[in-house]
Structure formats: C-alpha cells, structure tokens
C-alpha cells in the first residue's frame, strides 16, 4: 500500500499491513503494544518492510508501551546483516485505545530522543495504531511532521 503524505511516499509491505489488520481485529487494547519499524528510505520514499511486536521484556500497561532493547535490537541486527545492510531501523510504532489518534506528551518526548540519536537515519517514522485508523508522523533532525491517518478498512483494501 502506498500513502502520499506531503513530500513523502510511504509504502507498506503486505506483511506489515497484515500485522496491523490483525491488531485491529484481535487486539483488545487492554494494554498497549508496539515495536520497531524496519525498512529503507530512498530520497523521500519510505518502504516499511517489517515491524517487531512486543517481547516479554517490554514494559506494557493500559496507557504505556516502553520497548526494551532486548529482542528488538537482536532482530534489527540480524535483519541489517542478512539484508546486506540495506534494511535498517526506521522508527517506532505503538497502539492507542483511541478512535481519533493523538500522541501524548510522552510520545513527543520519546520521539525527540529517538530523533536526536546520531546513529539513526535522517528520517524517522512514528506510527500510532488506533482502533479505527493508524496515524503517521515523520521525524527529521529539526521537526516532527504529521503525515496523516490511514483508515484500515478503506485505504488498505484500495491499495493492496
């Protein structure tokens, strides 16, 4: 699926779409879930190939998801190596028990920390998966840009 968000073209692999659809269908939102986003960027084209899902070591509650390095980092290291260093860490995703998605102040704070890490790419993707839609932000060294919401039911079916 492709979404044109301003100057950015965002492409989701079928595997990522299926995972997000599964969360929409089956996830009860009693505790938040999340993980890392894996893919590649070419100019302003962002291709999201895979995402991790919660590991046992992650801290999860009704209103928070704090990703532990263990598990996610090992997976990212394996993907980086096996892809010939072409697939990389693109950002983070997590769930919110919301119909209309709004990032919390904690989300913005965490995003700014991630964007400031010198080893991360120039473009970082942040996704919040709500009950109806998912919302996307792009982080650069200087700003966080809201790309928009994608309706699970309509946009995924049209573009897959």
pLDDT (tens digit per residue) in 15-42: 999 999 888 888 777 889 999 999 999 9
Can you give the residue ranges of every domain in the chain?
2-159
Q: Kindly tell me if the per-residue pLDDT of 86 is higher than 90.
A: yes
Could you tell me which CATH class the domain 2-159 is placed in? alpha beta
Q: Collapsing DSSP states into helix, strand and coil, what is residue 63?
A: coil
pLDDT given for residue 157 in this prediction: 45
Q: Which residues pair with 2 in a beta bridge?
A: 11
Average of per-residue pLDDT values in the chain: 88
C-alpha span between 127 and 135 (Å, rounded): 6
User: In this prediction, what percent of the chain has a pLDDT beyond 70?
Assistant: 91
State residue 158's pLDDT score.
47
Please name which of 27, 95, 103, 86 lies closest in space to residue 67, comparing C-alpha atoms.
95
Angle at 86 between CA 127 and CA 108, to 5 degrees: 25
Q: Residue 58: is its pLDDT beyond 80?
A: yes
Please report how many Cα atoms fall inside a 13 Å half-sphere around the Cα of residue 41, on the Cβ side.
16
């Amino acid at each position: 699926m492709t979404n044109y968000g301003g100057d950015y073209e965002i492409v989701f692999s079928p595997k990522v779409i299926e995972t997000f659809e599964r969360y929409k269908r089956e996830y009860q939102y009693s505790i938040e879930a999340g993980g890392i986003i894996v893919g590649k960027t070419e100019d302003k084209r962002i291709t999201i190939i895979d995402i991790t899902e919660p590991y046992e070591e992650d801290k999860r509650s009704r209103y928070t998801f704090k990703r532990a390095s263990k598990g996610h980092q090992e997976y990212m290291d394996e993907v980086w190596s096996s892809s010939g260093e072409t697939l990389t860490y693109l950002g983070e995703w997590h769930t919110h028990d919301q119909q209309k998605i709004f990032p919390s102040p904690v989300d913005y704070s965490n995003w700014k920390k991630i964007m400031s890490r010198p080893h991360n790419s120039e473009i970082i993707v942040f996704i919040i998966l709500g009950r109806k839609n998912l919302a996307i932000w792009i982080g650069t060294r200087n700003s966080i840009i809201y790309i928009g919401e994608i309706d699970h039911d309509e946009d995924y079916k049209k573009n897959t």
